[in-house]
Amino acid sequence: MSIEKAEQAVAKLEIDKKYYPNFHIAPVAGWMNDPNGLIYFNGQYHVFFQHHPYDANWGPMHWGHLVSDDLISWRRLPIALAPDQEFDRSGCFSGSAVDNSGELCLIYTGHIHLSGEGPTEKIYQTQCLATSKDGIHFEKHGTILAPEEGIMHFRDPKVWQQDGRWWMVVGKRDLDDVGQVVLYSSEDLKKWQLEQVLVSDIDPDVYMLECPDFFPLGDKWILMFSPQGYKAKEYQYRNLFQSGYIVGEWQPGRPFTIIKPFQEMDFGHDFYAPQSFLAKDGRRLVFGWMDMWQSIMPSKADNWAGSLTIPRELILDADNNVRNRPIKELEALRSEQFSLSNLTLNSEVVKTDIDAVSCELKVEFDLTASDAERFGLELAVTKESKTLLYVDLQSNRIVLDRSLSGEGVRGYRSVPLPKTETLTLHIFLDSSSIEVFINEDLYSISSRIYPTPSTERKVNLFAENGTAKVVAVDSWQLKSIY
Amino acid sequence: MSIEKAEQAVAKLEIDKKYYPNFHIAPVAGWMNDPNGLIYFNGQYHVFFQHHPYDANWGPMHWGHLVSDDLISWRRLPIALAPDQEFDRSGCFSGSAVDNSGELCLIYTGHIHLSGEGPTEKIYQTQCLATSKDGIHFEKHGTILAPEEGIMHFRDPKVWQQDGRWWMVVGKRDLDDVGQVVLYSSEDLKKWQLEQVLVSDIDPDVYMLECPDFFPLGDKWILMFSPQGYKAKEYQYRNLFQSGYIVGEWQPGRPFTIIKPFQEMDFGHDFYAPQSFLAKDGRRLVFGWMDMWQSIMPSKADNWAGSLTIPRELILDADNNVRNRPIKELEALRSEQFSLSNLTLNSEVVKTDIDAVSCELKVEFDLTASDAERFGLELAVTKESKTLLYVDLQSNRIVLDRSLSGEGVRGYRSVPLPKTETLTLHIFLDSSSIEVFINEDLYSISSRIYPTPSTERKVNLFAENGTAKVVAVDSWQLKSIY
């Protein structure tokens, strides 16, 4: 399973682009999941991603690769890692990247199937190192950190440099099926010593913490990860797996003191495995995988599957919430603008001229002058499908409803309605996704949608059983990132 | 505006029956609102109703009239009251009936427009008496109770006999625009004396209490009425006007002691002005008007408007909630039965063979084995329309959603999901209505729906994003009450 063979395979996959994103990172063909190795290195931003280049289903993991000068215009590079060594023979699983004195180092999980798949599977996972001078071609150096005897799930290393040492967090399922994030440190990226277990047993049902990330934000330390096992509880933990964070205080040699327990980070159907990185100006940015395990992925029939979110900036607010908002660079994607203002809806649906195939929308409602039971937007409206985003004044929530979003995706996700006088819905609509940012960065909702193929996808405003006051609508067509 | 002229007018109205109910009381043509004069008298049940026989819009009020031996088979009688006297010249408004030693007495509101209509209108309302020996033809005796100087809104007398006296409750808007229910008593039904104000100023926004009713239930006294002015608050008070009750203790000569403040009685879109009466076996029954002021009433285009609910029995539970359930007599309307049992739904829609034009359904879910985000029923499904009734495990509510119910009706209504192991939805579907009784009588939801005309209206079961366990479905086609 060499890189050359993988490149040949992916080149042979012909894709149908009806759901293919215009301004989101997706595989040229085949399967994508987690973002990996995010880094600003040698004047360029690198995005790697979990990739199966042979078909649109998950399979032996490779690392796909793109670069950008500005975070909005992306160029595809050859596959960076293929599972071609004994220590990573079943897959090059997720990991991160660091700049080691001008050498681009990838620290990833070498995945080995010891026997079969399914309930009786035995796996072995170690952290491995690969390095590159040119940022394109990587040399593998094998396992740098192996788990204790009997541990099967031990993966997704995130590495950073601080106070003259290298630090690594790894997700681990311990022998009692308790999910943990474990911290290690190293002088040289090769020999690692255990520092401490940062968190363990955050919930009786949680058995694994995937994709940990640990970084300072404001005056706190954020432990971001993707827990597996939470049971749904009313509006919480509604997806198969979650992604979120714990806020605390930490410094090398000291325990991690938790200030705020686990919070979900995004409230849509499709957000997993976010990984952070530093922009060249020091902002903490993040990409997530905008899909969910075991979800309907109709684009598999088109020979591709998987998309990342738009890049987002992380902010710590005064109440120790980690908020995320679209990076300002995305404004450079804007082309034709359409605006309207001061519109009052009375139990009606009002059509707009906005084309919603690849667009950004900012819609501001005056909550003090709106009493409709439900009011908001019908998005990506085709003859047979539409996605609803609305304020519900009965439940006092903002709802993204996919009941009519196409291709069998269903279900709604929602967040509390903020007690502000105005409400701003900032929306990014691509061919098969919607990302909503509420009051700039109070909440985000990210979901995949599959509008029936149509040259036109419109945007309507509506108010049900009452009045809604729309202060302003601004929309922009968005250009391609390729 | 005599009865003869009214009968000729209504006979000339040709109606389209596409939305006409099969097992609900509705006007033969023209407009209906409140049920009036409900009584078991001389071996028959009488239902009168607010009626405008000249067209399908509200107008000068008459009293329509039907009788039944058994509460399920109804025969239309001539219009009972027309606004043909000085004291009721603008309308014979709502009221009640009593049996005075074999004479059927109607006590109703004589309504007079003193000047114009609309914001500058001046009205005058008095309580009037009409009597009948045969229960068909009524002799009017004029005003028996007039309001104090300056009071305009004073209506909807409900009269009963107790402890050798006649008692009457009347709704009143006092000079400060406060809604009240006032109690009077009389020796002879003609001369009335003020006893007390039973309730006043139940909410700062409520300005009128219409259609009061006051009766014993269990060991308590129930003051049932229809308040006007409540402002919507989350899930509460969502209709233009409400109907509900206060539970308390009372005996003649003593004040009314409130045990439970105002509670809504039904949680649908269309339930107003319920009036109670005693069945011959002593059960306390009720009919409501199954519409709402200022709602969409598409059947107006068909020359009729308005329907009563099915008759329901009132029960006081141990927590002093007044519950309502379909009367057992309705089972005699059942014809072909269709049943199925032990069905597990997995993120799917399952069609049934049930025809839902005029039917009763009992559907039992095992809540302990159901984890779907939403699960329940698609009802009255035609090609273009359907009405959704489902459990929502995110909001923990049972929802009746009219988003796709046809003819521009919109909005959802909901009640809390009970914390029981099984959930029973008992549903009565007629041509243009749905009534749902949850766990027999815990909550009722009554709404008008307008499925697109179709010979077939089907029933589907669904579960969204998860599993739902259907223990049993029983359905019966329902025969006509005429």
Kindly report, residue by residue over A58-69, the tens digit of the pLDDT.
Answer: 999 999 999 999
The percent of chain A in helix, strand and coil, each rounded to the nearest 5, is 5, 55, 40
pLDDT value of residue A118: 66
Instruction: Dump pLDDT digits (tens) for B195-227.
Output: 999 999 999 999 999 999 999 999 999 999 999
**CB contact set of B319 (below 8 Å; sequence gap of 6+):** none
Whole-angstrom distance, CA of residue A423 vs CA of residue A378: 17
Check CB contact under 8 Å for A411 and B464. yes
Identity of residue B255: P
Nearest to B438 by CA among B345, B482, B376: B376
Q: Considering only CB atoms, which chain B residues are within 8 Å of A374?
A: 411
Q: Between chain A and chain B, how many beta carbons pairs sit less than 8 Å apart? A: 46
Reported as type and span, the H/E element at residue B7 is: helix B3-12
Stretch A32-60: mean pLDDT: 98
Residue in this structure with the two tokens 């009766």, named with its chain if needed: B215
Which residue on chain A is closest to B394 by alpha carbon?
A234
pLDDT value of residue B118: 66
Reported as type and span, the H/E element at residue B442 is: none
Q: Mutating which of A394, A415, A445 best tests the B interface, going by the most B Cβ atoms within 10 A?
A: A394
Identity of residue A416: P
Report the sign of the C-alpha dihedral through residues A252, A254, A258, A259, in that order: negative
Residue in this structure with the two tokens 């389209």, named with its chain if needed: B16
Instruction: Dump pLDDT digits (tens) for B166-185.
Output: 999 999 999 999 999 999 99
For residue B467, count other CB atoms closer than 10 A to its CB.
Answer: 15
Stretch A293-298: mean pLDDT: 95
- pTM (predicted TM-score): 0.95
Identity of residue B222: I
**Residue A243 has what DSSP assignment?**
-
| pLDDT interval class at A456 (50, 70, 90) | confident
pLDDT value of residue A1: 65
Contact B355, B335 (CB under 8 A): no
Q: Is the pLDDT of residue B393 over 90?
A: yes
Q: Considering only CB atoms, which chain B residues are within 8 Å of A395?
A: 234-235, 395
Distance from CA of B348 to the nearest CA of A (A): 9
Q: Mutating which of B387, B402, B410 best tests the A interface, going by the most A Cβ atoms within 10 A?
A: B410
Tell me the residue length of chain B: 482
Nearest CB neighbour to B411, from listed A403, A412, A464: A464
Give the β-pairing of A30-41 and A304-305: parallel
Helices (H), B150-270: none
pLDDT value of residue B189: 97
